[in-house]
Structure 1
Amino acid sequence: MLNSFPSLHFFQMEVTKSPNKSNRRRFVLPSIFFILFLCVLASINEARFDALLKFGRCSVAAATTSFDSSLVNSSSVSNDTDIRILIGILTLPDQYNRRHFLRLIYGTQSFSGAKIDVKFVFCNLTKEDQKILVALEIMRYDDIIILNCKENMNKGKTYTYFSSLPEIFNNSDDGGSYPPYHYVMKADDDTYIRLNSLVESLRPLPREDLYYGYVIPCPSMDPFVHYMSGMGYLISWDLAEWIRESEVPKKHLEGPEDKVFGDWLREGRRAKNRFNAKWSMYNYPEPWTGCTHELWPETIAVHLLKNQEKWIRTLTYFNVTANLKESKLYHIDA
Structure 2
Amino acid sequence: MKPSTRSLEGKRFILSALAFILFLCALASINEIRFDSLLKFGRCALSNLPSQSHNASSEISAASNSSSSDDIRILIGILTLPDQYQRRHFLRLIYGTQSPAGAQVDVKFVFCNLTKEDQKVLVALEIMRYDDIIILNCKENMNKGKTYTFFSSLPEIFNSTDRPYPPYHYVMKGDDDTYLRLENLVDSLRPLPREDLYYGYVIPCPSMDPFVHYMSGMGYLVSWDIAEWIRESEIPRNNLEGPEDKVFGDWMRDGHRAKNRYNAKWSMYNFPEPPTRCTHELWPDTIAVHLLKNQDKWIHTLKYFNVTSNLKPSKLYHIP
Q: CA deviation at 1:226?
A: 0.3
Q: 2:231 aligns with which of 223, 227, 244?
A: 244
Letter in 2 for 1:296: W
C-alpha distance in 2 between matches for 1:227 and 1:106: 26
Match of 2:87 in 1: 98
* 5+ long unaligned stretches in structure 1: 1-49, 51-62
Shift of 1:67: 9.9
Q: How far apart are the structure 2 equivalents of 1:157 and 1:302?
A: 23
Which position in structure 2 is the counterpart of 1:289? 276
Q: Distance in 2 between matches of 1:70 and 1:116?
A: 30
Residue type of the alignment partner of 2:214: Y
Match of 1:84 in 2: 73
Pairing 1:221-236 to 2, within 5 Å after superposition: 221-236=208-223
Provide the residue aligned with 2:115 in structure 1: 126
Letter in 1 for 2:239: H
SS in 2 for 1:324: coil
For 1:67 and 1:133, the matched residues in 2 are separated by 55
Query: Residue type of the partner of 1:225?
Result: V
The 2-side partners of 1:246 and 1:209 are apart by: 15
Q: Quote the RMSD (CA, aligned, Å).
A: 1.7
Residue type of the partner of 1:150? K
Q: TM-score, normalised by structure 1?
A: 0.77
Q: Pairwise mapping of residues 148-297 of structure 1 onto structure 2 (< 5 A)?
A: 148-171=137-160, 173-174=161-162, 176-297=163-284
Following the alignment from structure 1 to structure 2, what is the Cα–Cα distance between the partners of residues 127 and 69? 57
Please tell me the residue identity of whatever aligns with 1:329. Answer: L
| 1:308 and 2:301 correspond | no
Match of 2:316 in 1: 329
Q: Which whole-Å CA distance do the structure 1 matches of 2:318 and 2:213 have between them? A: 51
Counterparts of residues 10-159 of structure 1 (less than 5 Å): 73-74=65-66, 78-79=68-69, 81-159=70-148
SS in 1 for 2:262: strand
- State how far apart, in whole Å, the 1-side matches of 2:113 and 2:205 are: 34
- Secondary structure, in 3 states, of the residue corresponding to 1:187? strand
Change (3 A) 1:331 1:289: same
TM-score by length of 2: 0.80
Q: Return the letter of the residue paired with 2:228.
A: E
Question: What per-residue deviation string (whole Å, max 9, x for no partner) do you get for residues 22-45 of structure 1?
Answer: xxxxxxxxxxxxxxxxxxxxxxxx
Q: Which amino acid aligns with 1:129?
A: D
5+ long unaligned stretches in structure 2: 1-39, 41-53
Cα deviation, residue 74, structure 1? 3.6
Counterpart CA distance in 2 for 1:73 and 1:254 is 50
Find the aligned partners of 1:127 and 1:72 in 2 and give their Cα distance: 54
Question: Which residue identity does 1:266 align to in structure 2?
Answer: R
Give the match's secondary structure for 1:118. Answer: strand
- 3-state SS, counterpart of residue 173 of structure 2: strand
- AA aligned opposite 1:102: L
1:109 deviates by 1.1
* Matching residue's letter, 1:199: V
Aligned to 1:7: none
- Structure 1 pair 94/67, CA: closer, same or farther in 2 (3 Å)? farther
Give the structure with higher Rg (CA). Answer: 1
3-state SS of 2:74 partner: strand
Rate the CA distance shift 1:177–1:67 in 2: closer, same or farther, 3 A: farther
How far off is 1:73 after superposition? 4.9
- The count of residues paired between Structure 1 and Structure 2 equals 265
| CA 69–130 in structure 1, closer or farther in 2 if over 3 Å, else same | farther
How far apart, in 2, do the equivalents of 1:214 and 1:263 lie?
16
The residue type equivalent to 2:166 in the other structure is P
1:88-120 superposed Cα distances (whole Å, 9 cap, x missing partner): 000000000000000000000121010100000
Q: Percent identity?
A: 83
Q: 1:298 aligns with which of 279, 285, 290?
A: 285
